[in-house]
Amino acid sequence: MRKWLLAAAGILALGITGASAQNYPTRTITMMIPFAAGGPTDTVGRLIAESMSKNLGQQVIIENAAGAGGTRAPGLVAKAAPDGYTILLHHIGMSTAPTLYRKLAYNPLTDFEFIGLVTDAPMSLIARPNFEAKDLKGVLEYIAKNKEKTSYANAGIGSASHLCGMLFQAAVKQQLNTVNYNGTGPAMNDILGGHVDLMCDQTTNTTGQIKGGKVKAYGVTTKTRVKNLPNLPTLDEAGLKGFEVAVWHGVYAPKGTPKEVVARLTQALQAALKDPKVVGAFADLGTEPVPQNQATGAALQAKLKSEIEKWRPLIQAAGVYAD
């Protein structure tokens, strides 16, 4: 009798999940962003959330769960109900955190369902408007002269700006005085105000300020120049041979989210990445959507796996860890 009851309860539960998955979504969806409002991850999130809302017929709202270098939000999403009403937009930090953090509240590979990749944003090395260096050579001279007094803004250990800063310090064999923010939106305010010297951040945060002449810029981190910043050399061209990093972004749901719901979210993401409004806004910010065949769960899962492997030895060599 007890066995029968348990089996009946199981069938009922499956039925409910199946039915709600078919009607999905019936209410507002929350997209968690691991950094402060006004920063580049937030900007990308807001653009795709607005477009996904149109496709899903329900609002996708943004919740900024900043903290711990971007590791707080994935921890929250990993523990959220796996019903499709809480999702996560994160970037390359999903792949660096497992090596950087001795203790992590989630496993990026096993605690999530994968919706798809979003964009590969270039980064750029910028400085406060009154920073005296005219070019990368000048930056290196300034750092050599001022030693650890040269300050470098980042969004905490595990952020893209932290990663770029680590690569930069290794490339120029100099130590910078790192200043942590809960996102590079607030960090940009301090760059603009002249309170901190340098930052390497996504073009989705820096393009407007570079074009408007509000900050100094020394190079982009991609192999080729960024289309709408044609006068800015790559850091490789400027003298840092082989310097290359791009910030890939992906959308995730908690592990156990029904397959149909994951598929529906992937469909909405793909539609968003074809939306002329999103494509145009991305172009203005120096980036572009991934091709449609990359906006899939399988592509995101494969990317995450390979990026964890790629960054592990480099981070271990740098010897940077967080608790």
Comparison of 93 and 289: residue with beta carbon closer to ligand ASP: 93
Comparison of 91 and 128: residue with beta carbon closer to ligand ASP: 91
**Token pair for residue 304?**
């995450």
Comparison of 39 and 286: residue with beta carbon closer to ligand ASP: 39
Comparison of 257 and 287: residue with beta carbon closer to ligand ASP: 287
Minimal distance, residue 176 CB to ligand ASP, in Å: 15
Beta-bridged to residue 119, according to DSSP, are 289
Torsion of CA 9, 10, 14, 19, to 10 degrees: -10
Comparison of 96 and 257: residue with beta carbon closer to ligand ASP: 96
**Residues in touch with ligand ASP (CB under 6 A):** 35-36, 39-42, 70, 93, 154-155, 159-161, 183-185, 201-202
Minimal distance, residue 192 CB to ligand ASP, in Å: 15
Minimal distance, residue 199 CB to ligand ASP, in Å: 9
**Token pair for residue 209?**
């300020």
Q: Which amino acid is at 156?
A: G
Q: Residue count of the chain, please give it.
A: 323
CA atoms of 96 and 307, how far apart (whole Å): 8
Report the SS3 class of residue 226: coil
Comparison of 154 and 234: residue with beta carbon closer to ligand ASP: 154
Minimal distance, residue 198 CB to ligand ASP, in Å: 13
CA atoms of 66 and 57, how far apart (whole Å): 27
The secondary structure of the chain in percent helix, strand, coil, rounded to multiples of 5, reads: 50, 20, 30
Question: Which of the 8 DSSP states describes residue 39?
Answer: S
Nearest-CB residue for ligand ASP? 39
Comparison of 71 and 159: residue with beta carbon closer to ligand ASP: 159
CA atoms of 2 and 158, how far apart (whole Å): 49
Torsion of CA 111, 114, 118, 120, to 10 degrees: 60
Residue 19's closest CA among 260, 254, 253, 257?
260
Minimal distance, residue 227 CB to ligand ASP, in Å: 20
Minimal distance, residue 39 CB to ligand ASP, in Å: 3
Minimal distance, residue 226 CB to ligand ASP, in Å: 16
